[in-house]
Amino acid sequence: MDAAPETRPAAPRDARAYAMLDASRYTSVGEMLRDALVQFKTHVAFTELDRRRVTQRLSYLDVKRAVERLARRLEDAGIGAGDRVAIVMTNQARWPIAAMAAFFRGAVVVPIDYKLTPKEREALLAHAKPRALVTEYPLFAPHAAGALEAVSLVLVSEAPPNARLGHAQRWGALDGADEPAGSDAPPTFVPRAREDVATIVYSSGTGGQPKGCMLPHRAYLAQYAALTALFPLVAGDRYFSILPTNHAIDFMCGFLGPLCGGAMVVHQRTLRPEFLTATMKSERVTHMAVVPLLLTAFERAIREKLDALPGWQRAAVEALMQVNERLTERRPNRLVSRTLLRPIHEAFGGELRVLFCGGAFVEQERAELFYRLGLPVAIGYGLTEASTVATVNDLRPFRGDSVGRAVDGVSLRIVDADASGVGEVQLHGPTLMLGYLDDPEQTRAAFTEDGWLRTGDLGHLDASHHLHLVGRSKNMIVTRGGKNVYPEDIEGAFGGVACEELAVFAEGYLWQTRGELVGERLVVVARLKSGATEAERLRFTEALHAANQRLADYKRAHALLLTDEAFPRTASMKIKRGPLAEDLRARYAQADMLWLGEPVEAVR
Amino acid sequence: MNASSSPDLETRLLTLAAARFGKPVASLAPGDDVFEKLGIDSIQAMEMLTEIETTFGVEVPDYELQGVTTFAGIAELVRRRLG
């Protein structure tokens, strides 16, 4: 095996980092959070808005009381060390409160994607076998009666007074005003060791085999220390939590990160861009994480603003952008940028320090535009199997062409590199998962013999140890909305379309390029019967298009490649994907594909 | 709410969508897929929904929009709130 040298650059430490809790003093996430709720008790922990109305502000002390009340209920139900507590909720204060109550009891938190269908959620619950489920009424109601019976304690918030809850119980007001009288004794805190499982996070939820990543407490403690050394979140900072909290990024940046530093988390019940920017203004948001798709929407808003300006004014803004670029060449300077580009900054609340954007395929030009406007986008890369973030740009200086350097505690190597240095990215360190729940086979496949995590991503390191991703060695995509999609899982959807054979590929798997990254898109490769007429080809394309439109937006294929060579298959008639991809790469160019449609995807 | 008001609501919705995205109103039908027909992404669709809410004086929570892809589907959500 040919491995490039490991990189572990020293992270520049921000002075503000000293105001946060020191993760090295703790053995579990629950212990650190318990201390945070005491340490920062006078600060506001959560602010919730519904459109323009502020519906709730909770201090750390309020949160502490709500956590203890819920922990008491879990304890009364017999939930303790190692038991699993699933959470299916939209972004709101109750999500972290439920997680903190579970951690208090030494339980394992199982975040489930609330955007899955009830059936898909039930499949994951059947796999995780939690003893408790905490959910909210709009998400609970669509489950068929009895579908959640296997879970002994189901707690439902926001249930209308006359709602039929079956065996589920109500989780009422956070101050406990309307809750049934229980034991008044304070709950018992259950300590955990660093190697114990803290969470089970599903990295693929739709179709195929569920992959529940078992992440230990040490992974979160290490990740917290590394990320907040680069981007501290302290009292006075306001983090806007819009990515689903069940997702690794928000779990860290919108829950553990801010709470262990005394910062405030802002939740908004709607995600319409208009209300997002209004919230950024009214709550003076300083940090947020977004998916690439939302950056696109922000850019559209900025461009509309610029286009509406008279010509001379637009020229002035352009000139100011150049001045700003020069003044912030080495690192961002919020004051300079804000002064120079006030109207644009005000549209985003005027206080934004940094936008985190995960995903390998953030367009470089877009990130650069934001930086020129004085709105730093910190592009990072990570996967659930490695907690949250493996590499990130530290903005010293800003780089739009790379996903950054390995964070503290993460070792990174490029394996089996070709002549140009491109090989598979592999990771090692305390942030790695212990394995997939109840799946030794997939766990074995995920790691190398010497214990490194195979990411399935192809990339190379430059002279400054910045990682550049160029494609995938695994046939999968991460959509602009941050969902993992395995093409094999959606081939079945095209089963009704008549052709000789058909396969679905990730475009980045078929064609690995550099500089200009291949988009995260799906390509259908199909072979029609030999001598198919033009009319038959057209009929096929139309049928495929129709089947494609029936799929969930983020599962749709965006291009079609017609081939006339039979697919290589194994003895059991499975498609040999590697050789097929190689063969297609040799015989076709990207330009040979037929375009099926623009990528469209729901953000949340 | 009487039966005759429903087509009216749909027509108003189509007119609003057509004006917003510069399409001829005659090219849109209630059963059409909003995203495909208008060539928009989910964020643009949500922006349009805010305009719809303002026009009809209703609030549709985001979670009700899951799985709704047609103009008729949106009309139904608005109608439920109006009713």
3-class DSSP string for A175-216: CCCCCCCCCCCCCCCCCCCCCCEEEEEECCCCCCCCCEEEEE
Q: Name chain A contacts of B59, Cβ cutoff 8 Å.
A: 51
Beta bridge partners of A229: none
Residues 274-293 of A with CB under 8 A from B: 274-275, 293
> Strand A53-59 to strand A44-50: parallel, antiparallel, or no bridges (unpaired)?
antiparallel
State how far residue B4 is from chain A, nearest Cα, in angstroms.
30
Task: Kindly give the pairing relationship between strand A354-357 and strand A264-268.
Answer: unpaired
Contact between chains at A297 and B43 (C-beta distance less than 8 A): yes
Complex ipTM value: 0.71
pLDDT at residue number A188: 97
pLDDT value of residue B4: 42
How many angstroms separate the Cα of A571 from the Cα of each of A55, A327, A488, A500? 61, 63, 18, 18
Read off the amino acid at residue A478. Answer: V
Q: Do B33 and A549 touch (CB under 8 A)?
A: yes
Q: Are the Cβ atoms of B42 and A90 closer than 8 angstroms?
A: no
Q: What is the separation, in whole angstroms, between the first and last Cα of chain B?
A: 6
Instruction: Tell me what pLDDT residue A255 has.
Output: 97
- Cβ contact, residue pair B62, A604, below 8 Å: yes
The rounded distance, in Å, linking the Cα atoms of A538 and A542 is 6
Cβ-Cβ contacts under 8 Å, B74 against chain A: none
Q: Which chain A positions have a beta carbon within 8 Å of B42's beta carbon?
A: 293, 553, 600-603
pLDDT for A5: 46
Q: Which residues of chain A have pLDDT under 50?
A: 1-12, 205-207, 514-518, 599-604
User: Looking at residue B35, what is its pLDDT?
Assistant: 82
Handedness of CA B14, B15, B20, B26 (dihedral sign): positive
What amino acid occupies position A32?
A: M
> What pLDDT does A530 receive?
85
Residue B43: its pLDDT value, please? 75
pLDDT of amino acid B2:
43
Under DSSP, is residue A296 helix (H, G, I), strand (E, B) or coil? helix
Please give the Cα distance from A376 to A366 (Å, whole number). Answer: 11
Position A180 scores a pLDDT of: 66
Residue A218, classed as helix, strand or coil, is: helix
- The enclosing H or E element of A305 equals helix A292-308
Q: From the CA of A599, how many Å to the nearest CA of chain B?
A: 8
In chain A, what is the straight-line distance between the N-terminal and C-terminal CA atoms, in Å? 41
The Cα–Cα gap between B83 and A392 comes to 50
Interface of A with B in 76-135 (CB under 8 A): 90, 115
Of the pLDDT bands very low, low, confident and very high (cuts 50, 70, 90), residue B47 is confident
Interface contact B43-A294, CB threshold 8 A: yes
Q: Are B36 and A297 a contacting pair at CB < 8 A?
A: no
Alpha helices in B22-41 (DSSP H): 34-38
Q: How far apart are CA A350 and CA A251, in angstroms?
A: 25
Nearest to A274 among B33, B47, B62 (CB): B47
